[in-house]
Amino acid sequence: MTTGLDRRGLVLGGLGLGVALGAARGARAQEVPTASQIEGPFYPYDLPQEHDADLVRVGSDDAPAMGQVTHVFGTVWTTGATPLGGALVEIWQCDANGRYRHPDDLETSRTPDLRFQGYGRTLAGRDGSFRFRTIRPVSYAVSGTDIVRAPHIHVAVSTRGVRRLTSQLYIAGEALNDRDVALASVTNPAQRSGLIRPYQDGGVFEAGAQMVRYDLMVVI
Ligand SMILES: [Fe+2]
């Protein structure tokens, strides 16, 4: 496990991680390619100065971002049930107020949470595993439309500098899932279930946190 969440001394590779990821290793590999989803308008133009895998803390500010801390983890697979070690995994999402940390998010009715990093990246370990510390995403209205998005986390996977997957990750049980404009494009049941995962108690990682596992399969 090589994800670098340890900037603030958060210990990775410890008991909690082993417990959580043990289930991933014991599980069968993701059997269908992860469904693609639109990138959306808020992928960073330039790599932000801070872009580590802990999106809850920014800079020297000890106060965390608003929102429900959530540990997002999983394994990147490729065909043949092969873990894709070393893959670059990126996530980006809105903050607890529904704002993206992006110059094109001009929605003034919602106050940005400057303590939320908004974007992070990490390299999958040799076993394909990855983990982020972020917040549970919230729904938001798309500016200038009557569209309300289901809570989601944007994700991208790249190898050797080539983008292999662009998708979005959802929360099981959210009522908005059934009428989300992006998720509607995924009709294959196995692919839908790969994108819509249950959030669970994440106490093995951190008191009061939630956790969710998304296994990703990319075709190279
Ligand atoms: Fe989005």
Q: Give 87 Cα–ligand 1 centroid separation in angstroms.
A: 22
- Of 4, 33, 12, 163, which is closest to residue 88 (Cα–Cα)? 163
Q: What is the DSSP letter of 172?
A: T
Question: From ligand 1's centre to the CA of 141, what distance in Å?
Answer: 10
Read off the pLDDT of residues 147-194 as tens digits, 9 standing for 90 and up: 999 999 999 999 999 999 999 999 999 999 999 999 999 999 999 999
Q: In this structure, is residue 165 part of a structural domain? A: yes
Task: Answer whether residue 1 is part of any domain.
Answer: no
The pLDDT of residue 31 = 81
Which residues span the domain enclosing 209?
A: 6-218
5-62: per-residue pLDDT in tens? Answer: 544 434 444 444 554 555 444 455 668 999 999 999 999 999 999 999 999 999 988 8
Percent of the chain with pLDDT over 90: 82
Q: Which pLDDT value is given to residue 166? A: 98
Residues above pLDDT 70, as percent of the chain? 86
What is the pLDDT averaged over residues 73-95? 96
Cα of 82 vs centre of ligand 1, distance in Å, is: 29
Answer whether residue 10 is part of any domain.
yes
Overall average pLDDT of the 61-88 stretch: 95
Residue 8 structure tokens: 């603030």
Among positive and negative, which fits the CA dihedral 180, 182, 185, 189?
negative
Average pLDDT over residues 115-133: 97
- Give, as residue ranges, everything with CB less than 5 Å from ion ligand 1: 40
What's the confidence (pLDDT) of residue 4? 44
Q: What's the pLDDT at 148?
A: 97
Domain total of the chain: 1
Q: What is the mean pLDDT of residues 132-147?
A: 96
pLDDT of residue 29: 61
- Residue 71: band (very low, low, confident or very high) from pLDDT cuts 50, 70, 90: very high
Provide the pLDDT for residue 9: 37
Is 95 a residue whose pLDDT tops 60? yes
Q: How far is the CA of 152 from the centre of ligand 1 (A)?
A: 6
CATH of the domain at 46: 2.60.130.10
Closest Cα to residue 171, out of 54, 70, 80?
70
Contact between residue 124 and residue 86 where contact means Cβ atoms under 8 Å apart: yes
pLDDT at 80: 87
- Rounded to the nearest angstrom, the gap between the alpha carbon of residue 111 and the centroid of all alpha carbons in its chain is 22
SS3 184: helix
Give residue 14 CA to ligand 1 midpoint distance, Å: 32
What are 86's two structure tokens?
Answer: 């070393």
**Dihedrals phi, psi of 70, to nearest 5 degrees:** -140, 130
Nearest by Cα to 93 from 68, 59, 75: 68
Residues 6+ apart with CB under 8 A from 199: 70, 136, 171, 172, 210, 211, 212
Distance from the alpha carbon of residue 15 to the mean position of ligand 1, in angstroms: 33
Total-model pTM: 0.89
Whole-number pLDDT of residue 23: 47
Q: How far apart are CA 3 and CA 20, in angstroms?
A: 15
Mean of the per-residue pLDDT values of the chain: 90
Q: Are 154 and 93 in contact (CB under 8 A)?
A: yes
